[in-house]
Amino acid sequence: MSRYPEEHTPVMSDADTIRQLQKGICDLHVHLEPDVRTRSENALDYVRKCAKAGMGAAILKCHDFSTMDLAWLLRQVEPSFEVFGSVCMNWTHGPRVNPATVRAALSCSGHYLRCVWLPTRAARFQSPENGIPVLDEQGKVLPEVVEVMELCAEADIMLASGHCSPDECLALARKAREVGVKKFVVTHADTAMWTQTHEQVMRCLDEDAWIEYAYGWHVLQSDVTSSVPCGILADYIRLAPEKSFVVSDMGMVELPQPAESMQQCVPDLLRCGLSPRDISLVLKENPMRLVHTA
């Protein structure tokens, strides 16, 4: 049975508009197998499904190991779909943010690294006792983090805040702008313990940050009797659709499959009152701009 209630089916929206918006969707934050945690789908099935649906691109994310090599292999099997890799600065790469890991990832076959996430599960904000720091005691960005920023700026790839706190995100955004990072991303700014207020989001936008929102968490937290799982998501998008993008952040077994969910995101956002233009921006144009390097 579908995770989505019947009332999510759009009855007033034009079906052709929905189909047009669903073509070329990009998901820049998806968790798939192989992984150290059980995921809802394996990467090969996912990529084949995305190609068949006419989706545009995806970035594979794993908290514990890099995915550029997997992206290279998947492209050999399904060359019609743009799949990219990433790396998270977590404990598996050392007790500190590790620029050497990023250099190696940038050199991997195919050059498909498109996002470096600062600590996620290993973030000090999430793991206060043994987390990996990004700021010193005075609140300044640590030298190794600045070095990673410089690498991302030179390669023109995304540097994402991971699971850092809202205050850390703002400090990182300021420094990233100073260093010359064009694609600094505040990760799932509308999610769980990392949720930012609208005012905090606006301050990050003032530092030229991109804002990532996670559709999957709204589905996870919504009651099956609610009419639309993403009314709050739509309110965040309205702050600055030109600097926002929506990802699934899916892969948990209790959620729907990631590709189908990103398709469902279109009618849900339409029913929340977002314009087709803004939906195209956050689901297709902005993420495609972020994965393509200069």
Supply the CATH number for residue 203's domain: 3.20.20.140
Is residue 2 domain-resident? no
Instruction: Give a yes or no: residue 177 inside a domain.
Output: yes
Q: In a structure prediction context, what are the per-residue pLDDT tens digits for the chain, which is 294 residues long?
A: 334 333 344 444 589 999 999 999 999 999 999 999 999 999 999 999 999 999 999 999 999 999 999 999 999 999 999 999 999 999 999 999 999 999 999 999 999 999 999 999 999 999 999 999 999 999 999 999 999 999 999 999 999 999 999 999 999 999 999 999 999 999 999 988 999 999 999 999 999 999 999 998 888 766 543 444 688 899 999 999 999 999 999 999 988 899 999 999 999 999 999 999 999 999 999 999 999 997
Tell me the CA distances in angstroms from 30 to 40, 99, 186, 204, one per residue in order.
11, 24, 16, 23
Q: Identify whether 10 is part of a domain.
A: no
Q: How far apart are CA 42 and CA 44, in angstroms?
A: 6
How many domains, the chain? 1
Structural domain boundaries, residue 250: 18-291
Q: Whole-prediction pTM value?
A: 0.93
d(CA 212, CA 186): 6
Sign of CA dihedral 261, 262, 266, 272: positive
